[in-house]
Amino acid sequence: MIQLVRGFRDILPGEAMVWQQVEQAARDRFECFGFSEIRTPVIEQTALFKRSIGEDTDIVEKEMYTFPGSKDTLLTLRPEATASVVRAYIQHKLYAADPVRKLYSIGPMFRRERPQKGRYRQFSQINAEVFGIESPYMDAQLIYMLTRFLDALDVPGLRVHLNSLGCPECRNGYRDALRAVFSGKTDRLCSDCVRRIDRNPLRLLDCKVPGCREVAADAPSMADFLCADCDAHFKTVTAGLDAMGVAYERDPRLVRGLDYYTRTTFEIQTDALGAQSAVAGGGRYDGLVEQLGGPSVPAVGFAIGMDRLVELVMAAQPVLLRPPAVFFAAMGAEAWKRAFQWAGELSDQGIRVEIDFSERSLKALMRRADRLGAQFVLIVGERELEEKTVSLRHMATKAQTAVPVDNLVAVVKEKIWESGV
Ligand SMILES: [Zn+2]
Ligand SMILES: [Zn+2]
């Protein structure tokens, strides 16, 4: 048989319910903070990602699914959401009436990473982006919103890692300092890092190669290079988090894998799945809107990795499919026909129904109802139809009620309501 493509995954029914639950929790929480949803396509022009994420990044150099479009354009399956949302913000002039926009999106991203446990080439993210607010309180509010969202899902062991990458001015001094340190140690660095020292020495700070990590451990810290404005901005972010009781750790190595971040960057990590790993991350990208051809508008946002988040939620709760409220144990042609009609009418009332159309004994049908976790079973046989009453069995108490067929939908609905299902 044909199997699914390596590095991709199916999300099966029980798990899909957890996905829905997580998505709904995000919608509810984000909308409390004034966010509204935006949906952008999964395909964009390759140039959009090259210009935003940065040419020297692993994503753009190695991981994008790129293919020819019409004429000379190259197209790419989006490896992240922010670039697309910024493009839409500019293209539709979402800043025209009011530059402040708070947008969220939920959907799949694509990166050609080496397939390994828990990492997929199609993965899903929940993204939130805020445009037009430079205040550090917005950064703190985003982090607050994110931690409350994860707390409500009972994700254990959460830790907020926080850093400031400064602005283009103060970061230049930091880049120089990094170059000075790294250029003397090229024999210990991987080839990617050696190549990137000149153009983008910050990349080295999040290289995963052990030799590079050792060298990075001795690197100077951005905190010592922040200009007065960036330092004040960062202090207000931390003061805001303190005021809301959000614990955090300063992490001077936190640069995130993208070029567009400025000032605040953060990650929410957990060690709940063994090794410590990030479930969400983000930061400020004050220059990106202008860099992509829009007005000079500050911005800040984050992405939540849904695949890992769902895994964490599933580790904490059993995955159950929603059981039917009414299971029809119907026996015989006439009974199937009547059950078929009643099931339709009950579903119109918002009641979950299931009919077994196979020719089986009542005993076998009851076993199946039990396995599905049905709350009630309606027993419909030829004798019941002749007597014009069917039996409604409450599975938990085993109490059985005779229900007149003429008024079946109303009576069953009443019984379900009474039992508090
Ligand atoms: Zn600065
Ligand atoms: Zn490296």
CA of 118 to the centre of ligand 2 (A): 23
Mean pLDDT (the chain, rounded): 93
DSSP state of 327: E
| Radius of gyration of the chain measured on its C-alpha atoms | 28
Looking at residue 362, what is its pLDDT? 95
Over range 376-400, report the average pLDDT. 94
CA of 302 to the centre of ligand 2 (A): 25
Identify which ligand lies nearest to the alpha carbon of 172. 1
CA of 329 to the centre of ligand 2 (A): 64
Looking at residue 4, what is its pLDDT? 95
Are 356 and 327 in contact, with CB atoms under 8 Å apart?
Answer: yes
CA of 185 to the centre of ligand 2 (A): 12
Identify which ligand lies nearest to the alpha carbon of 173. 1
Give me the residue spans of the domains in the chain: 13-167+227-316, 326-419
Longest dimension (CA), the chain: 94
Looking at residue 277, what is its pLDDT? 86
Residue 267 has pLDDT above 70, yes or no: yes
CA of 171 to the centre of ligand 1 (A): 7
CA of 411 to the centre of ligand 1 (A): 70
Identify which ligand lies nearest to the alpha carbon of 186. 2
Identify which ligand lies nearest to the alpha carbon of 171. 1
Q: Are strands 101-110 and 277-284 parallel, antiparallel or unpaired?
A: unpaired
Identify which ligand lies nearest to the alpha carbon of 215. 2
What percent of the chain is modeled with pLDDT above 90? 78
Identify which ligand lies nearest to the alpha carbon of 208. 2
Over range 159-163, report the average pLDDT. 96
Q: Which of 217, 287, 231 is nearest to 259 (CA)?
A: 287
Looking at residue 114, what is its pLDDT? 85
Which pLDDT band holds residue 113 (cuts at 50, 70, 90)? confident
Residue 366 has pLDDT above 80, yes or no: yes
Residue in this structure with the two tokens 């007005």, named with its chain if needed? 295
Looking at residue 365, what is its pLDDT? 96
d(CA 81, CA 306): 13
CA of 91 to the centre of ligand 1 (A): 29
Looking at residue 255, what is its pLDDT? 83
d(CA 271, CA 408): 53
Identify which ligand lies nearest to the alpha carbon of 227. 1
Identify which ligand lies nearest to the alpha carbon of 210. 2
d(CA 100, CA 27): 19
Over range 369-379, report the average pLDDT. 96
Judged on CB neighbours under 10 Å (0-12, 13-18, 19+), 7 is: middle
pTM of the predicted structure, to 2 decimals: 0.88
Helices (H) and strands (E) in the chain, counts: 15, 16
Which pLDDT band holds residue 380 (cuts at 50, 70, 90)? very high
CA of 408 to the centre of ligand 2 (A): 70
Collapsed DSSP state (helix, strand, coil) of residue 265: strand
Residue 176: count of CB within 10 angstroms of its CB: 11
Residues 308-342 have pLDDT tens digits of: 999 999 988 777 778 999 999 999 999 999 999 99
Residues 342-353 have pLDDT tens digits of: 999 999 999 999
CA of 161 to the centre of ligand 2 (A): 22
CA of 376 to the centre of ligand 2 (A): 61
CA of 62 to the centre of ligand 2 (A): 14
Are 77 and 110 in contact, with CB atoms under 8 Å apart?
Answer: yes
CA of 256 to the centre of ligand 2 (A): 14
Per DSSP (E only), the strands in 290-369 are: 299-305, 326-330, 353-355
Identify which ligand lies nearest to the alpha carbon of 170. 1
Residue ranges in 58-135 assigned as alpha helix (H): 58, 82-91
Residue 404 has pLDDT above 70, yes or no: yes
Looking at residue 217, what is its pLDDT? 86
Identify which ligand lies nearest to the alpha carbon of 287. 1
CA of 80 to the centre of ligand 1 (A): 26
DSSP string of 9-68, one letter each residue: ----HHHHHHHHHHHHHHHHHHHHTT-EE----SEEEHHHHHHHH-TTSHIIIII-EEEE
Comparison of pLDDT for 166 and 318, the residue scoring more: 166
Report the CATH architecture of 13-167+227-316.
Answer: 2-Layer Sandwich (3.30)
- Degrees (nearest 5) of the Cα angle 150, 151, 157? 90
Residue 250 has pLDDT above 60, yes or no: yes
Per DSSP (E only), the strands in 69-153 are: 74-77, 101-110, 122-131
Looking at residue 200, what is its pLDDT? 84
Identify which ligand lies nearest to the alpha carbon of 205. 2
CA of 203 to the centre of ligand 2 (A): 8
Provide CB contacts within 8 A for 358, sequence distance 6+.
none
Which pLDDT band holds residue 58 (cuts at 50, 70, 90)? confident
d(CA 179, CA 212): 14
CA of 211 to the centre of ligand 2 (A): 7
d(CA 142, CA 245): 14
Collapsed DSSP state (helix, strand, coil) of residue 317: coil
Alpha carbon 323 to its chain centroid, in Å, reads: 26
Collapsed DSSP state (helix, strand, coil) of residue 77: strand
CA of 226 to the centre of ligand 1 (A): 5
Residues 62-89 have pLDDT tens digits of: 999 999 998 889 999 999 999 999 999 9
Over range 382-392, report the average pLDDT. 93
Comparison of pLDDT for 184 and 91, the residue scoring more: 91
Over range 263-292, report the average pLDDT. 92
d(CA 266, CA 291): 22
Identify which ligand lies nearest to the alpha carbon of 169. 1
CA of 22 to the centre of ligand 2 (A): 35
Question: Which has the minimum average pLDDT: 15-19, 198-202, 234-238, 242-246?
Answer: 198-202
CA of 198 to the centre of ligand 2 (A): 14
Looking at residue 199, what is its pLDDT? 85
- The class that CATH gives domain 326-419 is alpha beta
Per DSSP (E only), the strands in 285-406 are: 299-305, 326-330, 353-355, 376-380, 389-394, 400-404
Over range 27-45, report the average pLDDT. 97
d(CA 80, CA 260): 13
d(CA 26, CA 130): 15
> CA dist 11 to 5, 20, 145, 288, 311, Å?
14, 11, 27, 34, 11
Question: Which has the minimum average pLDDT: 19-23, 114-118, 188-192, 261-265?
Answer: 114-118
Looking at residue 421, what is its pLDDT? 52
CA of 201 to the centre of ligand 1 (A): 17
Q: State which residues have CB under 5 angstroms from ligand 1, the bound ion.
A: 166-167, 170, 227, 230
Looking at residue 71, what is its pLDDT? 86
Residue 170 has pLDDT above 90, yes or no: yes
CA of 262 to the centre of ligand 1 (A): 9
Looking at residue 115, what is its pLDDT? 78
Looking at residue 202, what is its pLDDT? 87
Adjacency order of strands within the sheet including 389-394? 353-355, 326-330, 376-380, 389-394, 400-404
Per DSSP (E only), the strands in 132-176 are: 158-164
Residue 268 has pLDDT above 70, yes or no: yes
Looking at residue 49, what is its pLDDT? 96
Residue 281 has pLDDT above 80, yes or no: yes
d(CA 269, CA 159): 5
